[in-house]
Amino acid sequence: MKSSELKSFAAEAGADLVGIASIERFEGRPDNEHPSSIFPECASVIVLGRRILRGALRGVEEGTSFGSTYGAFGHRYLEDNFISKSTYDITCWLEERNAEAVPLFGYSSDVDMAYGLPVAPDKPAPNVVVDIEFAAQQAGLGNMGKGGFFLTPKFGPRQRFAMILTDVELAQDDILNLDFCADCEDCLTGCPLNAFTDGERDKTICSKCANGAVDTFGRGGMKDRLAAACARACVVSLEKRNKLDNKFNKPFRKRKPWGLDAYNRPIA
Ligand code: SF4
Ligand code: SF4
């Protein structure tokens, strides 16, 4: 099977991004994060992404609609319906070609998904979580930015990922090294709660953030930050610097951004 055929079907199935990493690129990963712990015959890891519509960020950017715009179309529906459907369809496509393929939700290994005890002495405890951001980087889709979100050349921080483990040996993609964060700190300065100190993010501050960060359910309790002030500052920054392939006629930021302090009071 050719990677190009798979990618062509992935695009038909709605994937905006697709990259492939061979299993060798996971060498050295711990057992509880290794694709082979889930599927020992895995030869290739396919990572697919779908965009967070820029329009799904509009209500958050204006501070007037969170749940029915971003919460639905940028977060829950995107994860639970749109990218899940693409992942399912591509997995079907592989199975129809007699390949074994294992669809996986895109968790970060930062989340705590521990559930149960090892079923054998040589197996890690469930649930093994293959870090989606590590996998996406190995699949050549982009890399982590200073703000702590994954960046791609097409959408910056605006996408969500899922993956498929398969026993098919597919040609892998080259690893990308984006320079988006060189000479940029816009996500750090765009945080109303000053969560960053010396480039390190204090996650306890983010856990209480009401500046567009949202609680997640069934995601290990990690806050979703892709519509938060920091991520929107990144969208603005990358657009201004003309870094992204996904272009628009008008800039995303049209007004001074709002912000809430640690007591959820508007910052003047
Ligand atoms: S705002 Fe700048 S420094 Fe922060 S993640 Fe985006 S590109 Fe990197
Ligand atoms: S999630 Fe909130 S507190 Fe954390 S860095 Fe982003 S804007 Fe700041």
Mean pLDDT of 165-173: 98
Name the more confident of 234 and 199. Answer: 234
Q: Does residue 147's CB lie within 6 angstroms of at least one atom of ligand 1?
A: yes
3-state DSSP assignment of residue 140: coil
* Confidence grade of residue 96 (pLDDT, cut at 50, 70, 90): very high
Q: Does residue 193's CB lie within 6 angstroms of at least one atom of ligand 2?
A: yes
CA 27 to ligand 2 centroid distance, Å: 33
Q: Does residue 60's CB lie within 6 angstroms of at least one atom of ligand 1?
A: no
What's the pLDDT score for residue 249?
Answer: 98
Contacts of residue 261, Cβ cutoff 8 Å, sequence gap at least 6: 192, 193, 267
Mean pLDDT of 17-23: 98
Ligand found nearest the CA of 146: 1
The phi and psi torsions of 129 (rounded to 5 degrees) equal: -120, 115
CA 50 to ligand 2 centroid distance, Å: 23
Residue 195 to residue 267: CA distance in whole angstroms = 15
What's the pLDDT score for residue 109?
Answer: 77
| Residue bearing the CA closest to ligand 2, atom 8 | 191
CA 150 to ligand 2 centroid distance, Å: 15
Closest CA to 224 of 40, 72, 1: 72
Ligand found nearest the CA of 267: 2
* Confidence grade of residue 216 (pLDDT, cut at 50, 70, 90): confident
Whether this prediction's pTM lies above 0.75 is answered by: yes
* Of 201, 209, 261, best ligand 2 pocket probe by most atoms within 8 Å of the beta carbon: 209
| Residue bearing the CA closest to ligand 1, atom 4 | 187
Ligand found nearest the CA of 195: 2
**Could you state, in order of their start, the residue ranges of all structural domains in the chain?**
3-166, 186-240
Q: Judge whether 20 and 3 are in contact, CB under 8 Å.
A: yes
Residue 151 to residue 136: CA distance in whole angstroms = 10
* Of 179, 238, 243, 252, best ligand 1 pocket probe by most atoms within 8 Å of the beta carbon: 238
Reported as a single tens digit per residue, the pLDDT across 100-136 is 999 999 988 777 777 789 999 999 999 999 999 999 9
What mean pLDDT, rounded, does the chain reach? 95
What's the pLDDT score for residue 112?
Answer: 75
Please report the atom of ligand 1 found closest to the CA of residue 156: 6
Q: Judge whether 236 and 252 are in contact, CB under 8 Å.
A: yes
Q: Does residue 211's CB lie within 6 angstroms of at least one atom of ligand 2?
A: yes
Measured in residues, the chain has a length of: 268
Q: Does residue 18's CB lie within 6 angstroms of at least one atom of ligand 1?
A: no
Reported as a single tens digit per residue, the pLDDT across 145-165 is 999 999 999 999 999 999 999
